[in-house]
Every structure is written in C-alpha cells, then in structure tokens.
C-alpha cells in the first residue's frame, strides 16, 4: 500500500463565482462541464479504491474548482454529506476543499467542521489590492487574511495558492505576496505562474499590448526564489506550475511541462555558484542528480562556461537543494557517475 499522500479530485465547476477573474476561462469551460452529483463522488472513490496502491489512510477526497463554499448551499451540503459518509466508512482519510477568500465566514467554518472537512485551500493569488482589483478578483488582501485566521483557528489545514506574473504585478509584488503568505503560516502553498488562456480578459489585454507576460526564464528565477523562501519557513509547496493545458487554450505565458524541475535546477545552479570555479565532485540527495544536472544538461553546460567542471554523486543523508562540493582530488573518482 502506498504511504504517499494522494487526492481523489472531484472538479466542481465554478457556478459559485460572483465574477470572472482576468485569467480564468472557467466560465466557458463550465458551460460544457457536468456538475458532479453524489453518485459521481462515490464513483470516483470506488475507481480509486480499485487501484493497486490505494491507501485509505493517506487519501483525501478533494473538491477542487475554486469556489466550493460559494456554490448553492443545498448542493454543497449534498456533496459534503456523501463525503462525510465515505470518511466515516474509512474509505478516505480526509476532505479537502478549495474556495475563494471572500466565501469563508464563521457560519461556513461551522458547516465544514460538522462534515469533517480537514483542509481548506484559498485562492489568494496576490497579496496586493491593486493587483487583485486589476485582475477582477472581487476580493481584497484583508479577505485572505480574515479567512486564513478563521481556517487556522478552527484547526483545519490551511492551503494558500498564489500566482506570479499577473496583470499589474511585478517581481516586488510577487515577492511581497510570498512574504505576506508566509506570515499567515499556511500548511501548504501552491504557486501558479500566470498563463494567458483563450477567452479571458487577459487575452484581450495581451492582444492590445496592455499586458506583457513575463518570460519563462524570469519566471523560473522568481519561482525558484519563492521555493527557497517557503522552504526556509518549512512550508510545504505542494504544486508549482499549471498542469497540462489544452494547446488550443494557450495564448501566451511561461508554461513548461516540467516547470518545477526547471526551478529546482536553477536552485542547484545558484548553490554551486556560491563556490569558486574549479573541478569538483558535487554530492546531492539521492534522486536529485537529474535536477542538479538540469534539462539537456543545461546546468553542466552553463557552469562549464563559467569555469566549473562538475561530477555529480548521490548521497543518502542529504536534504533537497543541499549540495556538498569536494575538490575532485579529495574524492575517489568514479567514471560511471561523470556527466
């Protein structure tokens, strides 16, 4: 049985959204998406239960979609009732929901508690009111702070989602968003670089020249920095970068299929560059060599141009992003690990 945490995700379309955020095309998606009912939830859990590595002790049922607590109350309660039954039966270990910061108050908190919800994720997106307004979020930074305090005080796991590169944002506002998010002490964070999708307000802004998306390189630099900031505070970043998107929906922006790996590689490169150039054996945590080397050996090649000749080796007792640089003469050379 797998010990790794996993989610059974049930997508609840955005019937609860009071407005359409600049970057979101869920309104067009919702038109052709079936709203899940109790049977769909049971079906999703049964499918997961029949999979080989299913572990009910580490699997949560997750109502994702953006505005769970703003959907019609009777519909929300029906979904929570079936989720609670599955929880009582021991089929799942918890219930996660994601919602808008302005759709959480003490009454909602009581309902979520009553039905056994364990984790609440908020789409904060930015922690700058001007950026939130420019992107038509319809809530303020104060809403994110208030909702976060309520969620934590009630004992739920708090998740906060942030976006980088939004319209009217900057490197400074994105770094400051991470600082303000850290101050709220979330248990988990998700970082999504903004991608301009078809049929969004952002598409109009992009096409008129009003919005200029950041490059992939700049976004990797920024998000790598954010990952280090959250790591320093022991905050678990559970997602970095959007999942796959339909090619026909992509208009512009720093999307990459292995975005997180690009950020990890950048961090390893920064760590290596803290040492003077030369010939080294670099030890990294087991399983991290490919990230340290970089996609298509990008790190190796870039470092070579700066006078580094690196051989990577794995070491069991090391942490993620930790490196140990040894002058090569001090280490027994093993040609198998030379890259």
What is the C-alpha to C-alpha distance for residues 69 and 153, in angstroms, rounded to an integer? 18
- Only segment of 18-26, 48-56, 170-178, 305-313 that touches ligand SF4 (CB under 6 A): 18-26
Backbone angles phi, psi at 67, to 5 degrees: -140, 45
User: What does DSSP assign to residue 186?
Assistant: -
Beta strands in 198-289 (DSSP E): 236-240, 250-252, 278-285
CB closer to ligand SF4 out of 143 and 174: 143
CB closer to ligand SF4 out of 163 and 303: 163
Nearest to 191 by CA among 136, 275, 262: 262
- 123 near ligand SF4 (CB under 6 A): yes
Cα dihedral across residues 50, 54, 55, 60: positive or negative: negative
58 sits in the region (left: phi over 0; alpha: psi -120 to 50; else beta) called alpha
Structure tokens belonging to residue 80: 């929570």
User: What does DSSP assign to residue 135?
Assistant: T
Cβ–Cβ under 8 Å, residues 211 and 182: no
- 186 near ligand SF4 (CB under 6 A): no
In whole angstroms, the minimum distance from the beta carbon of 12 to ligand SF4 comes to 10
- 98 near ligand SF4 (CB under 6 A): no
- 100 near ligand SF4 (CB under 6 A): yes
Rule CB under 6 A: choose which of 8, 10, 12, 24 binds ligand SF4.
Answer: 24
- 67 near ligand SF4 (CB under 6 A): yes
CB closer to ligand SF4 out of 45 and 70: 70
- 103 near ligand SF4 (CB under 6 A): no
- Only segment of 14-22, 78-86, 238-246, 286-294 that touches ligand SF4 (CB under 6 A): 14-22
Binding site for ligand SF4 (CB under 6 A): 14, 17, 20-21, 24, 26, 66-67, 100, 123
């Amino acid at each position: 049985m797998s010990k790794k945490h996993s989610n059974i995700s049930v997508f609840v379309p955005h019937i609860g959204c009071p407005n359409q955020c600049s970057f979101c095309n869920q309104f067009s998606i919702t038109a052709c998406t079936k709203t899940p009912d109790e049977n769909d939830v049971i079906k999703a859990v049964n499918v997961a239960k029949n999979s080989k590595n299913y572990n009910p002790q580490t699997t949560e049922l997750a109502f994702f979609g953006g505005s769970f607590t703003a959907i019609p109350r009777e519909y929300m309660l029906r979904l929570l009732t079936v989720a609670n039954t599955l929880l009582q039966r021991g089929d799942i270990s918890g219930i996660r929901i994601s919602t808008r910061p302005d759709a959480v108050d003490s009454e909602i908190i009581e309902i979520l508690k009553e039905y056994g919800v364990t984790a609440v994720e908020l789409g904060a997106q930015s922690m700058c009111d001007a950026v939130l307004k420019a992107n038509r979020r319809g809530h303020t930074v104060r809403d994110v702070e208030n909702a976060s305090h309520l969620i934590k005080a009630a004992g739920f796991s708090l998740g906060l989602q942030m976006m980088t590169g939004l319209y009217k944002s900057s490197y400074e506002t994105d770094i400051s968003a991470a600082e303000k998010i850290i101050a709220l002490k979330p248990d988990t964070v998700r970082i999504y670089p903004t991608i301009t999708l078809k049929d969004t307000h952002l598409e109009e802004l992009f096409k008129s020249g009003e919005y200029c998306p950041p490059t992939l390189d700049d976004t990797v630099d920024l998000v790598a920095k954010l990952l280090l900031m959250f790591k320093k505070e022991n905050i678990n970043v559970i997602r970095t970068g959007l999942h796959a998107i339909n090619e026909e929906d992509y208009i512009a922006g720093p999307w990459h299929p292995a975005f997180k790996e690009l950020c990890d590689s950048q961090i390893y490169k920064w760590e290596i560059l803290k040492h003077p150039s030369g010939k080294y054996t670099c030890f990294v945590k087991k399983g991290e060599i490919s990230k340290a080397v970089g996609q298509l050996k990008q790190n190796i090649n870039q470092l070579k141009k700066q006078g580094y000749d690196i051989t990577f080796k794995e070491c069991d007792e090391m942490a993620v992003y930790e490196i140990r640089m040894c002058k090569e003469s001090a280490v027994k050379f093993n040609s198998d690990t030379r890259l």
